[in-house]
Amino acid sequence: MFAGTPKIVVFGFLHIQEGSSSWFNYPGFELWKFVNLFVFIVVGLYILRRPLSDALRSRREGIKRELLKAQEERDRALAQLAEVESRLERLDAEVAVIKERSQKEADAETQRINQATEVEMAQLRDQAKREIENAGKAAKHELRKFAAAQSVRLAEEVIQREIRPEDDVRLISRNLEEMGRSKP
C-alpha cells in the first residue's frame, strides 16, 4: 500500500487500524478468537436449542417429581414419627400402670404369703402339740407297762423269796375250795 497510510483490517463489523495500540490488538488476545467463539456458541445454541430445551424441561420435571416424592416421603415420615411419639407417650403411661399394678400384686402376694405362713405355722404348732401329746401318751403307756412289768417281777421275787412250799399247798387248797363253792 502507500507509505504513510495505515492499513485497516476488518473483522466483521470492527475496523482495526494497523499500528494502533488498542486493547483488542494485544498479542495473545486477538479479538477474532473471541468473535469466533461467540459465533460458534450462538450457532450451537441455535441448533441445540430445542433438544437442550427439551432435556432441561424433562430434567426440571424429573426434579419436580423427585421433590414431590421426597415431600410425600417426608410427610409420611413425619406422620410415622408423630405416631411413634404418641406410642412412646402411651408406653410411658402403660409402663407406669404396669409398675403400679405389679406393685399392688406384689403387695397382695406378700400379704397372701404372710397369711399362708401364719396359717401353716398354726397348723404346725397344732400338729407338734398333738405329736407331743401322742408321744407323752405313748411314753406314759410304755411307762405303765414297764412299771407293771417291774411290779410283777418284783412281786414274783418277793413271793419266791417269802413263800415256802407249805404256803403254796395252803394257797392251792383255798383256791380249790373257792372254785367248789362257786359251782352251783
First-to-last C-alpha distance (Å) of the chain:
203
Euclidean distance between CA atoms 145 and 129, whole angstroms: 24
Instruction: Look at residue 61 in the predicted model and tell me its pLDDT.
Output: 94
| Domain membership flag for residue 98 | yes
Residue 17 neighbours by CB under 8 Å, 6+ apart: 6, 7, 8, 9
| Residue span of the structural domain in which 86 resides | 8-182
In the DSSP assignment, the letter for residue 5 is S
Q: Which residues contact 8 (CB under 8 A, 6 or more apart)?
A: 15, 16, 17, 18
Between vectors from CA 8 to CA 2 and to CA 14, what angle results, nearest 5°? 170
Pairwise CA distance, residues 174 & 158, whole Å: 21
Q: Is residue 68 part of a domain?
A: yes
Does the pLDDT at position 59 exceed 80?
Answer: yes
Residue range 152-170: mean pLDDT, rounded: 81
- What's residue 93's pLDDT? 83
Work out how many domains the chain is built from and give that number.
Answer: 1
Mean pLDDT over all residues of the chain? 82
**pTM of the predicted model, to two decimals?**
0.36
With vertex at residue 65, the alpha carbon angle to CA 63 and CA 68, rounded to the nearest 5 degrees, is 110
Which position has the grid cell 395252803? 170
3 occurs within a structural domain: no
Domain-located, residue 1? no
Is 55 among the domain residues?
Answer: yes
141 lies in a domain?
A: yes
Residue 24: the pLDDT is 57
Name the pLDDT band for 39 (thresholds 50, 70, 90): very high
7 or 118, which is more confident: 118
Contact 18, 28 (CB under 8 A): no
Mind listing the pLDDT tens digit for each residue in 76-131? 999 999 998 888 888 888 888 899 999 999 999 999 999 999 999 999 999 999 99
Residue 2 lies in a domain: no
Does residue 155 register a pLDDT over 70? Answer: yes
